[in-house]
Each structure stands twice: as structure tokens, then as C-alpha cells.
Amino acid sequence: MIYVTKIINIIMLITISLIGLYFAFYNIDFENLYLRLLKVDSIRFSLSVAILMLACVFRSKRLQYIVSPIDDKITLQHLFSSTMIGYFGNGILFFRLGEVLKAYSISQGNRITASESFGVIMLERMIDALTVLILLLISLIWLPTQNSTINYWITAFTIVTILFTLSIVVLRKINWEKFIMSFSFVNEKIRIAFLGIVQKIFDGIDTIKNTNHVKGILFSTISMWICYYFMTVWLLESCQIYIMPSGSFIMLVMGAIIIAVPALPGGLGTYEAGITYTLMLLYFLTKDEALTYAIVSHASNYIPFLGVGSIYFIISGLRISDLKKVSNSK
């Protein structure tokens, strides 16, 4: 039954990505698109990739601060390697299983267990979602809100993030194990799995409470997003797209929301469609111009993560089959 469910989910993700690709490339002048891609500024593109790697260093440093109460011996180099392995996994595996691979990688040769690592990563993603929500609220100052499509996605993301955060707060205050298990109409295995996820989030929150590095976590988070902002600016300029600094900020936030939409590994299809129509709706770019940026910005993330991540993955001696070990430890 579980196998059938996974197959159905994979088919759904493939369908979503194919629909995204259809809308992204429908009615496109491929010759003009090809010429635009040839004109991409290689210097600015290279700068964007370089600052993306710097952002990953800040992300790894933040992770080091978060895990310090559990294991203060983990090196920044090891966490950077694990981060890149996680991105590599997300680029080739369904259901963002790169996060699980990242958890196993973090635990290798260290005191922290794979289960504890997974909890830390869950907390890391929660911090990212809250950060994006804060940035989204800031971007509303400049965001044209007369477009119903943009309003729909902003509202949906805001509601989901707020509800998720509130549910975590509420569960924290009550006998959450008994509450979750009371949903008898839900398959017991699903309830137990959800219990494990919630427990990992709470473990991560406890880790944050026990750390003395709150300022370090805040600084590394801000530094990371500053890197992402300049990456966005340089990528837009590499495609000869010049918009206001506030516009680059909005594209950064929208990109972070769009990449979270369930799809094929790496967000293929949904990212291209989402970014293309965002640029068309907000800044009235032609579809060829907008799709050029969507392809270039996606490549600037996907190719480096796949390349660098695969090297670290090979060096680490990990195997995709190690995912089962993490699943068994959760």
C-alpha cells in the first residue's frame, strides 16, 4: 500500500512539473530564447554562483551554532559538505529526500545522531519559512497587489506558514502525543510518522533554547539572505533585466516561495513557470525575457549544487541506500 502511495505521489509530481513546463514554454520563440541565453553576461553569472557558495558557508555556520549544544566538535567544513550533499540529494531525489541524506551526513563521525540531525534540519527549515514570511511582509510595501494571481499565492503562503507556526505553538502547550494519536480515522503509521516529525521539531526548538549563539544564528541568517539578494541582482543584470532594487528584493522572495512548490527534483517546471509569470505580471517583461531569467537563475542554483554536491557525496562514501538507515533511526 505504501509503495502504491509513493507511485501515485511521484506521478502527481511529474504531472505538476509537466504542466509547469507547458505553461513556461508555451508560445515561446525558441530561436529568440536561444539568442538571449547566448547573450547572458558570464561575469555576473559567475559572481552570482560565487556569492551563492558564500551563502552556503553562512548557512553551514548557522547550522554549527544550532547543533553546538548537542555536539560542539562538528567542524564548519563538515557541515558545509553535508549542506552540499543535501542540495545534491534534493536535486536528484523525490520528496526532498536530500534533507534526510544531509542528516545522515552530519551524523557521520560525530556525536550527534542522525535522528537528532534530522530534528535540527526540520528546525532549520522552519527558520527559513519564518524568514521568508518576514521578507514577504516587508516586500508588500513595494509589491503591486492589484493582480489577483499574485495575491492568491501570497495569501496561500502566508496562511500556510502562520497556521503551521501556530499549530507548533499549540501542540507545544498541550499533550500533543495524545492529541495526534486521537485522530483514529488516520492510518496509525501516518500518525506515528507525524509524531516523529513533531518530536524532531520540538527537539530542535529545545536545542535553540539551550544555545548561547542566538546572535550568531541571527547574524548568519541575515548574511545568508543578503548574499541571496545580491545573487538575484546579478542574475537579473546578467540577463539584461534592470529593475529597481525593490524589484530584485521581490523576485528573491517570490523565488523562495515558488521553489517550495512540490514538483520534480530541483523544482523543474514549476520554478520556470512561476518565475516567468511573476516577471510578466509584475514588471511587464516579454515571455522570452522572463523565461530567460527563469532558466538562468535555476541553472545558477541547480548546476553548482549538483556539481559540488556530487563531489562531496563521492568523497564522503555515502550511498543513496543510507536513507533507509536514517528512516530506521527516526
Q: Out of 139-148, 236-245, 300-309, which region has the weakest mean confidence (pLDDT)?
A: 139-148
Assigned domain for 67 exists: yes
Domain range for 148: 2-20+43-329
Q: How far is CA 157 from CA 14, 136, 229, 256, in A?
A: 22, 10, 20, 11
Asked whether 93 and 320 are in contact (CB, 8 A), the reply is yes
Assigned domain for 310 exists: yes
Assigned domain for 28 exists: no
Predicted pLDDT at 106: 95
Q: How many domains does the chain have?
A: 1
* CA pair distance 316, 313, nearest whole angstrom: 5
Q: Which three cell numbers stand for residue 154?
A: 501570497
Assigned domain for 251 exists: yes
* CA pair distance 170, 122, nearest whole angstrom: 18
Predicted pLDDT at 146: 61
Q: Out of 12-26, 173-187, 284-298, 299-313, which region has the weakest mean confidence (pLDDT)?
A: 173-187
Mean pLDDT over residues 210-218, rounded? 85
Predicted pLDDT at 230: 98
Mean pLDDT over residues 142-154, rounded? 69
Assigned domain for 105 exists: yes
Tell me the pLDDT tens digit for each residue of 44-96: 999 999 999 999 999 999 999 999 888 989 999 999 999 999 999 999 998 88
Predicted pLDDT at 255: 94
Instruction: Say what the pTM is.
Output: 0.86
Predicted pLDDT at 185: 75
pLDDT exceeds cutoff 90 at 306: yes
Q: How far is CA 149 from CA 23, 131, 146, 274, in A?
A: 15, 23, 9, 11
Assigned domain for 207 exists: yes
Asked whether 145 and 151 are in contact (CB, 8 A), the reply is yes
* CA pair distance 255, 232, nearest whole angstrom: 9
pLDDT band at 186 (very low <50, low <70, confident <90, very high): confident
* CA pair distance 117, 99, nearest whole angstrom: 10
